[in-house]
Structure 1
Amino acid sequence: MRSLSLALATLLLAWLPQGRAAALEPFLATYDAWYEGRHAGDATMRVAHLDGTRWEVELDIRGRHGLLGLARLNMGQSTVFDVADDGGRFRPLTQRTVRKALFFGREIDGVYDWDAGTAQWSGDVSKRRRNPVPLREGDLSALLINLAIIRDAEPGVTLNYRFVDNGRARDHVYRVAEEPEIVEVGDLSYSALRVSRVDDDDDETLVWVASGVPTPIRILKRDAEGDDVDLRLIEYQGTE
């Protein structure tokens, strides 16, 4: 019976046309978190409307105690941002990262001052990353790039974003697959586009997005040694 349900879910979701996601809307998504091929915890991603044009996106990852190497998994990150009236621009306003560990923790806060044209971070950040970073129109935090990919991904296109986060600025280039592929998450399967980015140091980021789903189906960050951090969607729901 389960295999039949899975087959039906695959068939139904494969019929969905791939295209731009709907306008930004509040949601709460839950993920399984995997680390180096092992189930290591869980994560939530939330988008909430604050007021006017201001929104907030949050990602909270919780690693299970007792597994080595999970300090990087226990973290929370959030970005407050505003959205253009046409929904075509996300502009970060503040950013916060909290890393949670048994014997130490880190807190980093950033402010994007668009009037001054700079972004600057404080807290547990290195001295060189405390310097102001010049801003350009279109700059995004790491979390906002995830939302922008959902908004922009179409088969075969190349996506160019400028990452400005944690005292750094980098150009990020993503390539969207020509055709969707079936991605199984839990008891459901999605017809999803793979969006990939490869860094100069051979680190790789893969994001799968499905038409009509406001959050990534899967986020995989992989280094030269293999799988690193893997978030797999369990469920999502609107929160309005």
Structure 2
Amino acid sequence: MRPFPALALLLALAGPAIAQVGIAPAPAGPETEAPRTLEPFVARYDARYRGKPAGNATLQVVRQAPPRWRVDLGIDGEKGMAGVLGLNVQQSTVFESGDAGYRPLSQSTVRKGLFLGRKSTGTYDWVKATAQWRGDLKKRHQQPVPLQPGDMSGLLINLAIVRDARPGAVLRYRFVEGGRVRDHIYQVAAASETVSVGELSYDVLRVARTNGGNDDTVVWVAAGVPTPVRILQREDGEDAVDLHLIEYEGTP
């Protein structure tokens, strides 16, 4: 395991065929490197809620039988506050990665807390062009959802942001998860900023969702790092769930 050398939906997680990505012209450099190749990794985060310690999180990408992969996010909340807030969450998406980009095949969510325990599973049927979820969901969210090329789960959108972020770019994705469909539009900062991890400082690009309404998502990414440096969800203008990368490593 190595410390973060250069690092957030979090909860609601390719090429032009899966996302409409507008990239502003920019000179060659470390922030405009060629799109990174998907590689397996495991990353560990410090989880905070409204600025206070709330546990830890793990984000990993696992290679399965080609061309299949799986991405998992687990948040292990501390006892007390996290249990009440339902910050014990396990999410997973099985997907294919190829010329068409990241194409989800199945998705699951398990939430545990003092006053709740919920589970849902969904399947993306690309032959019928529909997706459908079952489990602890409202009836309207258990109805079939029409699929479009490029649709992704929240975890896949996080991976796509890491891959696509370039200075000044506008990133457009369609979120399809839990029986819900939403357009996600992100603005990448025109220039990098510096973040500190311990005694070290690194350059990152800030990527902020522009159409989230009262629920904002901001992701920070760094060249050469396969996972977000930080993932922040804001509610009504205040910081809510906040994940800070501690360390990551590549895996077989």
**Normalised TM-score (structure 1):** 0.89
Query: Structure 1: 5+ residue runs without aligned partners?
Result: 1-8, 11-15
1:42-93 Cα distance to aligned partner (Å, 9 max, x none)? 0000000011100000000011012267533110100000011x4x600000
Q: Which amino acid aligns with 2:72?
A: E
Q: Which amino acid aligns with 1:24?
A: L
Q: Which amino acid aligns with 1:153?
A: A
| Residue number in structure 2 paired with 1:189 | 201
Give the 3 Å change call, closer, same or farther, for CA 235–187 of structure 1 in structure 2.
Answer: farther
Q: Of the candidates 154, 163, 170, which is equivalent to residue 182 of structure 2? A: 170
| Residue number in structure 1 paired with 2:77 | 63
Give the 3 Å change call, closer, same or farther, for CA 176–70 of structure 1 in structure 2.
Answer: farther
Q: Of the candidates 155, 160, 167, which is equivalent to residue 155 of structure 1? A: 167
Q: CA deviation at 1:21?
A: 4.9
| Residue number in structure 2 paired with 1:111 | 123
| Matched pairs, number | 225
Q: Of the candidates 99, 102, 125, which is equivalent to residue 114 of structure 2? A: 102
> How many Å separate the matches in 2 of 1:140 and 1:49?
18
> How many Å separate the matches in 2 of 1:172 and 1:29?
24
User: Superposed, which structure 2 residues align to 1:12-51 within 5 Å?
Assistant: 17-19=30-32, 20-51=34-65
> How many Å separate the matches in 2 of 1:188 and 1:59?
26
| Residue number in structure 2 paired with 1:77 | 91
> How many Å separate the matches in 1 of 2:122 and 2:240?
26
| Other structure's SS at 2:81 match | coil
Give the 3 Å change call, closer, same or farther, for CA 44–188 of structure 1 in structure 2.
Answer: farther
Give the 3 Å change call, closer, same or farther, for CA 182–70 of structure 1 in structure 2.
Answer: farther
With CA pairs under 8 Å and 6+ residues apart, which has the higher RCO, 1 or 2?
A: 2
| Other structure's SS at 1:23 match | coil
Q: CA deviation at 1:187?
A: 4.2
Does the 8 Å contact 1:64/1:70 carry over to 2? Answer: no
> How many Å separate the matches in 1 of 2:200 and 2:120?
37
| Other structure's SS at 1:18 match | helix
**Normalised TM-score (structure 2):** 0.85
| Residue number in structure 2 paired with 1:4 | none
> How many Å separate the matches in 2 of 1:67 and 1:113?
38
